[in-house]
Amino acid sequence: MSIEVVNITKSYKNFTALHNVSLQIPEGELVALLGPSGSGKTTLLRLIAGLEQPEEGAILFHGEDNTNRDVRERQGGVVFQHYALFRHMTIFDNIAFGLAVRNRKTRPTKQEIKERVHSLLRLVQLDGLAHRYPSQLSGGQRQRVALARALAVEPKFLLLDEPFGALDTKVRQELRRWLRHLHEKLGLTILFVTHDQEEAMELADQVVVMNEGRVEQVGSPEEIYNHPANPFVYSFLGRVNLFRGRVRDGKVRLGEAEFDTEWENLRGGEWPAVGYMRPHDVEIALAAQDSKFVQAQIQHISLLGPIIRLDLKRLDTGELFEAELTRQRFCELDLQEKSTVFVKLNNLAFYVEDAEEKVPLPTFIPIQASF
């Protein structure tokens, strides 16, 4: 089932949690709502589930307006972070619950329920555990039971709110892989909330990046990582270095480094510019090879398994930044703390305050820079 969110605004008293949010989720996609705490992810999920009502806007399923329908009529499955299993019921009864409480007309027979529960137990790889109680399962197993219970009633879509949030890293990783396979098998539309960018990037077909009740960008993991729409998305998706400078006559100057831009509108004036750069794009050399190299001192070296992270300080501007390099490159260069190296600033994305509109809140324009 496809899901469409159209111009939704939602407030709690005088606090606006969602500002005019629109979103299209095609049928069968696995979509992540990603954003910092308080960005409105759960609110959006609850609105789609029918657990909250918006002040403005509409929610459509398969093109049909469902804004005023209640939770049951929407026929979605919802799983929250804390597995709300019934403690006094066996795993079998927990999974069967949604079917067993149906009215007589729509309730399957006992035999049908039994078959369905056992097939779901196989699907979530917990066959053999039907007669245990929730307290006799691990956290990861309980969360799989919660998913099986949501799937038992054959939902039209699944909404998962930080489904693996309470589990430790290793179990989370296993469950991610498992959820991806489950999605491939079922082809169900799944929307899940996470504040963990690695989880979103690893699992989702599409990632919706949210911030302060707004959608900042929607795209595949590759699109949002390689072509972030604005500085927020750039900073939120992984580690980033910021270099401050000015743009003038189509050139950006960041300390002693100068970059040509193709941004014609920025000729004939001067504006503050910020260059964003990922630590793995910093190139380290023992001698300068061209004018894009600046000198920096190594402040600290962190050995992080296959990669090495350097904390560096630019000698021209005093700015602190990070570089990441492979262990092999690190050994080749024989780097030591306090030594001075040359660094090349590669693949920068520049943003400047919108010079045309002079709006009070800074809006940002990415500049295509040529090196």
Contacts to ligand ATP by CB under 6 A:
12, 15, 17, 35, 37-43, 195
H or E stretch at 344:
strand 340-345
Pick the closer one to ligand ATP by CB: 37 or 111.
Answer: 37
| Shortest Å distance, C-beta 12 to ligand ATP | 3
Residue 125's nearest CA partner among 184, 174, 188 is 174
| Shortest Å distance, C-beta 79 to ligand ATP | 15
> Do 225 and 235 contact (CB within 8 A), yes or no?
no
Pick the closer one to ligand ATP by CB: 169 or 363.
Answer: 169
Structure-token match 């196989």, residue found: 122
Strands 30-34, 206-211: pairing is parallel
Backbone angles phi, psi at 27, to 5 degrees: -55, 135
**Alpha carbon distances (Å) from 298 to 127, 257, 347:** 55, 19, 21
| Shortest Å distance, C-beta 236 to ligand ATP | 12
Structure tokens at 263: 């941004």
Pick the closer one to ligand ATP by CB: 210 or 343.
Answer: 210
Backbone angles phi, psi at 54, to 5 degrees: -80, 160
| Shortest Å distance, C-beta 35 to ligand ATP | 5
Pick the closer one to ligand ATP by CB: 37 or 106.
Answer: 37
> Do 2 and 189 contact (CB within 8 A), yes or no?
yes
| Shortest Å distance, C-beta 289 to ligand ATP | 45
